């Protein structure tokens, strides 16, 4: 009975997470499209840039959320409400401090940003927009994160996901209404920002009904000491997601930032979908490593690598062919920026593909609690990304930041494949690179076939037809490759699915 309930919860969490990713993709495309059509590329670039600068608050968080989740597992399992309450009180206190710090930071940014950067908008316009955009972050840290963390730790991810689905749909609806009734970027962002107040209201009602949290207990301050173990990883991930927009803001203009943000919408959405599809494999690696069952662990790694290769090369292979035509259709009618950037699009797709390919090895290191050992390469990756991007962007613009991301991702991938070979007995690096070589050759052959069927017109119908054809071509190519070279992985996958 318990096993069936666990399976139902796992399925519900998986389905809700996948649904959320779909809604986030829709939200990510619809709202920027509304902004582009109603206000132009400069306003879209300004909001993207401001959001990136505001998101620097994540560096202050410094990995504490991961530590809190890890500390919550034991008291939840043993139903130790006193310990549970102590952790949550400490977490809430820490998040509130971040919230107060963020308010000061947002006020500072609202004054400094319009002074430093020549945006083409007056001081009051930029300053007030900065403060309006900060509403989302204030709601998260001051009101939402503590209870959200508890729900995630207690495997109630579906509560978080369904809440986000409702909020994001409401955000889309209110954004459309706002643009139709009174097209003003400040009003649009104020309304959509206030929608997120629903989040803490829903979490609070659920927590009060299903948990017994004693807010008077003494805080567990050991959480703060443990947060540094994940700081480097958190920093590297943040820099990966924010470096390009910040560098482009400093060295180019808001129209270029807008071009980057539109291309990034595509790859980040697909990246999140793939991540949600493979996330259920992470605990299997941790369990096998904890038991020192290296034969089983090697099989799990083979399976994980195969699945990630299939998903990344299929989805990102098609994306590489179609990303620029999609952006041109998406931005049709806009003449205030050059959105036709095929070389940049390819570099960005390849860089983000490399980011995903390291997931089996990165998540193994996480599961084995090797944060300290992998922190230095994380900082090196971040440094490479920043330095190369800054050096190349004055000469190559968008392509420069994409190359910086590509080289940084390649370095981190090579390191994690190497580190896994040191962690797992019998895990030769060639196992990974053999797969990589096979899939690269298959992808090149598939792309050559697809190039014989180019998009003939810049229409949605033509794009959809080509997308279907390209998926069929590359899917067939990878199916043949799987039968020829990965029969053992297919057997393991079949057994894994039957067991589940």
Q: What does the pLDDT look like over 36-73, one tens digit per residue?
A: 999 999 999 999 999 988 887 766 665 677 677 767 77
Confidence tier at 1 by pLDDT (50, 70, 90): very low
What is the C-alpha radius of gyration for the chain, rounded to an integer number of angstroms? Answer: 23
The rounded percent of the chain whose pLDDT value lies above 70 is 90
Q: What does the pLDDT look like over 340-382, one tens digit per residue?
A: 999 999 999 999 999 999 999 988 887 776 777 887 888 898 8
Can you tell me the mean pLDDT for 324-349? Answer: 92
Predicted pLDDT at 491: 86
Residue-averaged pLDDT of the chain: 86
Dihedral angle over CA of 90, 93, 94, 97, nearest 10? -170
What whole-number distance in Å separates Cα of residue 12 and Cα of residue 1? 16
The DSSP line for 131-196 is HHHHHHHHHIIIIIHHHHHHHHHTT-HHHHHHHHHHHHHHHHHHHHHHHHH---HHHHHHHHHHGG
Q: What does the pLDDT look like over 187-230, one tens digit per residue?
A: 999 999 999 999 999 999 999 998 888 888 877 666 555 555 55
Can you tell me the mean pLDDT for 292-321? Answer: 91
Residues 6 or more apart whose Cβ sits within 8 Å of residue 329: 458, 459, 460, 463
Domain ranges for the chain: 1-220, 240-500
Can you tell me the mean pLDDT for 434-440? Answer: 96
351: tokens are 């860089």
Q: Note the pTM of the prediction, 2 decimals.
A: 0.83
Q: Over 70: is that where the pLDDT of 231 sits?
A: no
Q: Over 80: is that where the pLDDT of 287 sits?
A: no
Q: What does the pLDDT look like over 123-152, one tens digit per residue?
A: 999 999 999 999 988 888 888 888 888 888
Q: What does the pLDDT look like over 261-279, one tens digit per residue?
A: 999 989 988 888 888 777 7
């Amino acid at each position: 009975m318990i096993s069936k309930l666990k399976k139902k919860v796992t399925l519900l969490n998986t389905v809700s997470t996948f649904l959320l990713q779909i809604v986030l993709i829709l939200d990510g495309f619809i709202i920027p499209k509304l902004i582009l059509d109603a206000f132009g590329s400069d306003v879209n670039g300004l909001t993207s840039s401001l959001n990136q600068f505001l998101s620097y608050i994540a560096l202050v968080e410094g990995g504490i959320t991961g530590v809190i989740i890890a500390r919550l597992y034991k008291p939840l399992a043993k139903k130790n409400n006193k310990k549970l309450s102590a952790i949550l009180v400490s977490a809430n206190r820490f998040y509130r401090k971040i919230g107060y710090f963020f308010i000061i930071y947002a006020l500072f940014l609202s004054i400094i940003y319009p002074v430093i950067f020549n945006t083409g908008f007056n001081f009051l316009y930029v300053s007030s927009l900065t403060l309006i955009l900060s509403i989302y972050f204030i709601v998260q840290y001051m009101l939402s994160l503590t209870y959200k963390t508890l729900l995630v730790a207690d495997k109630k991810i579906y509560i978080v996901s369904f809440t986000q689905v409702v909020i994001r749909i409401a955000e889309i609806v209110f954004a459309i209404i706002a643009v139709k009734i009174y097209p003003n970027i400040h009003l649009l962002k104020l309304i959509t920002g206030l929608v997120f107040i629903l989040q803490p209201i829903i979490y609070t009602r659920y927590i009060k009904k299903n948990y017994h949290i004693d807010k008077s207990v003494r805080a567990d301050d050991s959480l703060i000491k443990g947060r540094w173990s994940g700081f480097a990883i958190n920093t590297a991930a943040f820099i990966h997601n924010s470096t390009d927009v910040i560098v482009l803001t400093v060295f180019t203009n808001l129209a270029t930032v807008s071009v980057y943000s539109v291309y990034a919408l595509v790859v980040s959405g697909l990246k999140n979908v793939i991540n949600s599809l493979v996330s259920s494999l992470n605990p299997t690696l941790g369990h096998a490593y904890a038991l020192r069952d290296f034969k089983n662990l090697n099989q799990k790694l083979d399976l994980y690598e195969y699945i990630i290769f299939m998903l990344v090369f299929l989805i990102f292979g098609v994306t590489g062919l179609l990303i620029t035509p999609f952006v041109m259709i998406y931005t049709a009618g806009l003449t205030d920026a050059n959105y036709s950037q095929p070389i940049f699009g390819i570099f960005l797709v390849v860089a983000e593909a490399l980011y995903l390919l390291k997931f089996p090895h990165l998540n193994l290191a996480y599961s084995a609690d090797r944060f300290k050992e992998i922190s230095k390469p994380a900082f090196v990756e971040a440094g490479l990304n920043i330095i190369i991007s800054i050096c190349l962007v004055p000469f190559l613009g968008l392509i420069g930041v994409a190359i910086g991301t590509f080289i940084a991702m390649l370095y981190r991938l090579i390191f994690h494949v190497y580190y896994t070979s040191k962690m797992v007995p019998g895990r030769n690096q060639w196992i990974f690179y053999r797969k990589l070589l096979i899939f690269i050759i298959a992808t090149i052959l598939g792309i050559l076939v697809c190039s014989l069927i180019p998009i003939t017109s810049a229409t949605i119908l033509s794009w959809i037809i080509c997308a279907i054809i390209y998926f069929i071509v590359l899917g067939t190519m990878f199916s043949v490759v799987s039968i020829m070279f990965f029969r053992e992985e297919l057997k393991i996958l079949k057994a894994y699915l039957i067991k589940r």
